[in-house]
Amino acid sequence: MNKSINLLISGLLLLVVLPANGQPAGKVEKASTNMLCQGNYFTEQEGKAFLETQRKTYTAQADWKKRAELIREHILKGVGLEKFPRKCKLNAIIGEKRLFDGYQVQNVAFESLPGVYVTGSLYTPTVSKGKLPGIISSHGHWSKPGDVGRYRPDAQKRFAAFARMGAMVFAYDMVGYGQMEEFGWKHEHPEVLKLQLWNSIRCLDFILEMGADPEKIACTGASGGGTQTFLLAAVDQRVKVSVPVVMVSAHFFGGCVCESGMPIHKDIGYQTNNVEIAACAAPRPMLLVSDGGDWTKNNPVVEMSHLKYIYQLYGKADLVQNVHLPNDKHGYDLHKREAVYPFLAKYLGLDVTKAINPDGTAKEEMITIEDQKALYPFDEKHPFPASAIRTNDGVKWN
């Protein structure tokens, strides 16, 4: 059976089992045993039509709130986190400070589950007063040697710039990236989405434990990191500001198992897409950054129209914004950072002059790009614990 016929049957099933509020009315036979929505699951036209149909089912704020709660439930159900595991102590391993121009860096590892370590680096301003706004930042699927994840120059620049602006920033590795890959962890694993989302939730725990202001917590990332950004903002209300970069699309559902390898978008009598998931952040401030070179090319018209509609149900249409760069390609490069710095400065109370020149260009020339291994938390002074789990299959969910 080809994809078009599958989509038609799925659409008919949705009409049969979904009442006007978009919630399941009862069980029916599956059209397919495959509930995964991967890659370009919809065509551009199908994605747009899906949003237009959905819009008619929530015409008031109360309608959308019910829909948003249903979406959150399906995300958590789809990854197997309907009931959270007991949160263990983080037992953070924090390295020595390295001082730079206006910011400092410490490498960090902590336990998200017993023996399961999240690795990253903590960037903070060298001079600060009181509680700092917090930003957690995930990364995308850049894995070429010398150009990996959070170690890429463009990533290090944004982390350092955020810290120079006055934020506490935790940049963390996706599952199976960086030093953990060297110990034996893999990114391509059937349950990587479950662990990655759980790790992101624990990153919020970590940055709050380190003293970040709970009323000023943001998350941002590009590509697969953009997926983590909107998933985390959807399921965890502690995220007050979100900036998913080059990822929110009506038709594209993510191409990696960490984005769409578990059934978070579809169930019997249920269908959503990443625009509705991103909208679960409403009415918290959100910036979409999009470009003309990938699946976000329609953001100014298709995706933003729907998000504005939902934010308007709260009377907060101005709190969702889009910066579209039609000549840019996929990434978190210079022009995208120049869009993000003022937005986060506005909603987190940061000093934008530390990252943006008067003419609107980025002020990043004083930032030091470190070698990848310099950002690893485990070394001779901080050895990898003997009790640590070395492969994905050793994870125990209590």
The CATH number for 161's domain is 3.40.50
Per residue in 334-364, pLDDT (tens digit) is 999 999 999 999 999 999 999 999 999 999 9
Run of H or E residues at 168: strand 168-172
Q: Is 179 part of any domain?
A: yes
State yes or no: pLDDT of 380 exceeds 60. yes
State yes or no: pLDDT of 3 exceeds 80. no
State yes or no: pLDDT of 24 exceeds 70. no
Weakest mean pLDDT among 30-39, 182-191, 315-324: 30-39
Q: Is 18 part of any domain?
A: no
State yes or no: pLDDT of 29 exceeds 90. no
Per residue in 161-216, pLDDT (tens digit) is 999 999 999 999 999 999 999 999 999 999 999 999 999 999 999 999 999 999 99
Strand 147-148 to strand 168-172: parallel, antiparallel, or no bridges (unpaired)?
A: unpaired
Query: Terminus-to-terminus CA distance in the chain, angstroms?
Result: 40
Q: Is the pTM of this model over 0.95?
A: no
Looking at residue 25, what is its pLDDT? 30
State yes or no: pLDDT of 14 exceeds 90. no
Q: Is 184 part of any domain?
A: yes
Q: Per-residue pLDDT averaged across 293-304, rounded? A: 98
Write out the two tokens for 184.
């034996």
Q: Is 25 exposed, middle or buried (0-12, 13-18, 19+ CB in 10 A)?
A: exposed
**Whole domain around residue 127: which residue ranges?**
93-237+252-277+333-375
Q: Is 39 part of any domain?
A: no
Q: What is the mean pLDDT of the chain?
A: 92
CA 242 – CA 320 distance, rounded (Å): 10
Q: Per-residue pLDDT averaged across 9-14, rounded? A: 40
Looking at residue 28, what is its pLDDT? 32
Q: Per-residue pLDDT averaged across 74-82, rounded? A: 96
The total of structural domains in the chain comes to 1
Looking at residue 146, what is its pLDDT? 85
Q: Per-residue pLDDT averaged across 210-237, rounded? A: 98
Q: Is 221 part of any domain?
A: yes
Strand 147-148 to strand 103-113: parallel, antiparallel, or no bridges (unpaired)?
A: unpaired
Looking at residue 33, what is its pLDDT? 53
**Which of 86 and 1 is assigned the larger pLDDT?**
86
Looking at residue 341, what is its pLDDT? 98
Q: Is 68 part of any domain?
A: no
Q: Per-residue pLDDT averaged across 81-106, rounded? A: 97
Run of H or E residues at 94: strand 93-94
Q: Is 270 part of any domain?
A: yes
Q: Is 287 part of any domain?
A: no
The answer for residues whose C-beta is within 8 angstroms of residue 67's C-beta and 6 or more apart is 21, 22, 23, 54, 57, 58, 276
State yes or no: pLDDT of 329 exceeds 90. yes
Looking at residue 129, what is its pLDDT? 86
Weakest mean pLDDT among 99-103, 138-142, 194-198: 138-142
Per residue in 246-259, pLDDT (tens digit) is 999 999 999 999 99
